Amino acid sequence: MLSLWIPRIALIVTVLFAARRGGEPERLVAAVLFATFALDVANHTWFGAPDWFAINPGHLVIDTWAFISLLWIALRANRGWPLWVGSGQVIVVMGHIAKVWELDMVRWAYWAMTQVPFVFQLCVLVIGTVAHVARSRRVGAYDAWRPA
C-alpha cells in the first residue's frame, strides 16, 4: 500500500512546487505529468486493473500523448532539463513497442519500462524547478522559451 501512495504524494508535492516556483516550462511539464496520472486513473476506472501480460491500449495512448507533449516542451524551452524528462518518456513508449514486438516478454520488465521512468521524471522536474529558481535569483527574469 505504501508503494502506491509514495509516488502519488511525490507527484502532488512536485506539481505544487513547480506550479508555485517554476516558470512556464516547469508548469507545463508538471501539468503533463499530472495529466498522465489523472488519465491513468480514469483508464483503470473504465477498463479495470492493468494486465502486464498484454499491452494496455489506454496506457499506450496516454504515454504517446505525454511523449509528444514533453518533446514539444523540450524542443522549445530555454532549459536543458526537459530533454531528460522527455528521455524518460521515450523509455516508457519503447516499453510499449517492445511489448508489441515480443509478446512473451516478462511482465515485470514491461511494468518497469512503463512505470519506473515516472519517478525519474518527477526528480528531474524538481531539479529543473530548483535550477530555474536559482537562475532567476542570479540573473533576474529571463525568457522561458527559445526564440522561434
- Structure confidence by residue, pLDDT tens digits, 46-79: 888 777 667 788 999 999 999 999 999 999 999 9
The per-residue pLDDT for 52 is 67
Say which range, 25-34, 35-44, 76-85, 98-107, has the weakest mean pLDDT: 98-107
First to last CA, the chain: 47
The per-residue pLDDT for 98 is 80
The per-residue pLDDT for 1 is 66
Q: Are 60 and 37 in contact (CB under 8 A)?
A: no
For residue 147, is it left (φ>0), alpha (ψ between -120 and 50) or beta? beta
Say which range, 13-22, 71-80, 96-105, has the weakest mean pLDDT: 96-105
The per-residue pLDDT for 3 is 77
Q: Is 145 helix (H, G, I), strand (E, B) or coil?
A: strand
Backbone angles phi, psi at 131, to 5 degrees: -65, -40
Q: For residue 53, count other CB atoms closer than 10 A to its CB.
A: 12
Q: Are 64 and 39 in contact (CB under 8 A)?
A: no
Question: In angstroms, what CA-CA distances link 136 with 52, 132, 145?
Answer: 44, 6, 14
